[in-house]
Structures are given as C-alpha cells and as structure tokens.
Amino acid sequence: AAPTATNTPTPTVPATPTATPTPTPTAKASASGAIRGVVWYDWNHDQKRSETELPLEDFNVTLLWAGPDNVLGTADDEEKSDRTNSRGEYSKANLSPGLYRIHVEATDDVLNSDKNPVRKNAGTLTVEQQLASGQELNDFDLALYSGDLDGDLISDGAEGQGDYDGDGAPNYADADADGDGRPDRSEGTRDVNNNGLPDFLDTAPPDGQPQIQMTKTDFLLIDADLDGRASANDTLLYRIDVVNHGQQAYKNVVLFDTPDAMTNVVGGTVQSSSGQISSGNDAGAVHIQIELGDIAVGESATISFQVQIAAEVTLRRIQNQAFIQFDDPTGTNGSAAIRSDDPDAPGSADVTVTAVGADTIQTIHMPIAAR
C-alpha cells in the first residue's frame, strides 16, 4: 500500500514587534520675572537713600532685553519701559530671563516741573543686569544726582547761570534780598521755604551773616599708617557747630547726618553739647540723628563723631554733609532746613570734602563735644 502522506507544517513567521514611540520631552517653559525699584535724588552721592532724599516722579526707565541670544546690540533685542509714579517707583513684570540694560535719564519731558528737585542735566544712569528664570528684583533702585551750588535741592543745570532757584528770573539767590551789601548766595542757604520772599531766615543782622549758621570741619584723628594723609583704616573726626546769630530762638532743632559710604561710624563716638542722640551711635551706623531742642539767641550747639575710612576705599575723596530741621511757620509743613558748610571751601553750604591720599588735613587728638 502506498504510504500515507504526512503534511509538512508551514512555518509560522514571527510577527514584527510594534515599536513603542519614545515620547519627545516637553520643553520646560521659562518662568517670567520682574524688575522693580525706586528712582531717587541722591543729593549727598552716598548711594544710600535716606528719608530726606526725594523720589523722582515721571522719569522714564528703559529696560532693553538682549533677546534669546542673550547678546545686547543684536537684531533680537527688545525694549520695554515704564515711568515712575509720585513715589519714584517703576515696575516691569512678565519679563523673560536673560540680560537687561536698564537706563534712566532726565529728559525734556520732565523739565519745568515742580515735581522733581533735580531736572535738566541730571545726567544718565545705565546698568546691566542678568535676570534668572522666575527671578523678581523688587529693590532695583536707581539714584541720580547733579551739582547743587546753592544747596536748594534743585540741580545747577536746571537753574542756569545767574538763576539759582530755577524760576527763570533773578531773585533772592541772585541778588541781595536783605540789603546788607553781600550777595545772598554768599551768605549760606537762603529763603529756605522757597517762597521767593526774604523772611527771618533770610534777613541778616548787621554783620552780614545768616541768622543761623552750621559749619562742618574734618580732622585727621588717627593716622593709622603714619603717612600724614587720610587713607584706608585712618580715623576722621567731624565737628559740627550750629550758631544762632538771629533775634529769636530756633525751636525743635533736629540734626541729620549720613556718613560717606566709604566710611564706618566708630561706635560710641557721637557726642553733642546739648540735646539727645536718637540714633547713629552704634558701630557702622548709616544715619545719625540728634534732637538738639531749642537754640536760643546767641547760643550754639556742637556735635562731633568719628568715622574710620574703609580698608577697601576706592575713592579719591570722601564727602559728608549734615543738615538741621527746625520749626518755621512759613515753611513747608511748618518747618525749614539748612545744610552744613565746609569752612575750608570758598562757597556757601559746601559739602565737607576729605581728599584721600592727599596732603594731610588738620590733625586733632581730643574729643570735641564731651558731655
């Protein structure tokens, strides 16, 4: 018999496995950030804002973003801007991370405005800042300043030659309001309530001096390296004299002082011949405040304190100026103020300047206003 055929099984072709797609990672979105701060008038140039230094209103703050390439000056740069409010504040939110150039200046659109103490020729300020993803810089403050020959908180550039109060006409600061034969601007800060009229603060007694005077003198107290010059780690002594030449007492006199940023107050050295030290007698204090009280006719007050020049001093000069505030019924909010004058300088209401590394200033080795 014929053999029975055995079917040869057909081999099964294994199925090709279906490829599992690899998920594409989702790009992480960059969180937006912000830059905010205050633009203010740094009249004593110490880069520290005090309560007496005014904010600058309606100033344009420009933020130039470097774009995705993070390089300024290329085609992808993007400009953003904001104007300061009455408190000098500016704010830009929803900012992409990267490099920013922040720029502020006094421009024509803020001229002839009573909002700001410093206007034309106030200069410009430009700074670059890297902003990280999601970073919020909430205290990115910007300070402007310019010359102020007469100490009236209006920049010399805004006032022009021969018009020191900036009202466009000669008046108390340009002439002789009290008729004493001396130019008003040579007699110290004039017309402190800025009403354009001479009053008891402006009218001088027969000796041709202002009713109240304040001088601030610098001394080299400790010459640490014995080089005969003010330099790093040396100690300076400041003496402030307030004298009432007028015909009535000055009430509720308060003295304020902000030492130069390149100096440090020596703790326990603030002294006053009268009144009470409210603040500033601690080592490294930023602000000094002394309640002098009333200064009667013919009387005076003497204040002194010591500062040590910082080891990392980079300036060629250190500068400091005090001011006093007192009651004045005709003044703004019932008060008025004057600034100290450096008796070593020819002008009036001069900032007291100590040259760093120059020939020695006066040297003294004893306290001034011991109490």
Domains and CATH numbers, the chain: 33-144 (2.60.40.10), 211-371 (2.60.40.1510)
> What integer is the mean pLDDT of 213-242?
90
The reported pLDDT for the residue numbered 317 is: 80
The CA-based diameter of the chain, rounded to the nearest angstrom, is 158
Neighbours of 97 (CB within 10 A): 17
By the 8 A CB rule, do 93 and 138 touch? no
Q: Enter the pTM of the model.
A: 0.47
Of the pLDDT bands very low, low, confident and very high (cuts 50, 70, 90), residue 110 is very low
Cα angle, residue 353 at apex, residues 250 and 292 outer, rounded to 5°: 20
The reported pLDDT for the residue numbered 181 is: 46
Q: pLDDT of 177-205, one tens digit each? A: 444 444 444 444 444 334 444 444 444 44
Sorted by sequence, the CB contacts under 8 Å of residue 103 that are 6+ apart come out as: 61, 62, 63, 64, 124, 125, 126
> What is the C-alpha separation between 117 and 143, in angstroms, rounded?
13
> What is the C-alpha separation between 326 and 251, in angstroms, rounded?
6
The reported pLDDT for the residue numbered 150 is: 47
* Coil, helix or strand at residue 334: helix
> What integer is the mean pLDDT of 91-115?
74
* Coil, helix or strand at residue 158: helix
The rounded mean pLDDT for the chain is 74
Q: Which helix (H) or strand (E) holds 78?
A: strand 78-83
Amino acid identity of 364?
I
> What is the C-alpha separation between 158 and 168, in angstroms, rounded?
10
> What is the C-alpha separation between 356 and 220, in angstroms, rounded?
11
> What integer is the mean pLDDT of 139-156?
62
68 forms bridges with which residues in the sheet? Answer: none
Max mean pLDDT among 24-33, 143-152, 303-312, 313-322 falls in 303-312
The reported pLDDT for the residue numbered 35 is: 95
Greater model confidence, 128 or 4: 128
The tokens of 29 are what?
A: 């979105």
Residue 207 has pLDDT above 60, yes or no: no
Residue 219 has pLDDT above 70, yes or no: yes
> What integer is the mean pLDDT of 249-272?
93
Residue 338 has pLDDT above 90, yes or no: no
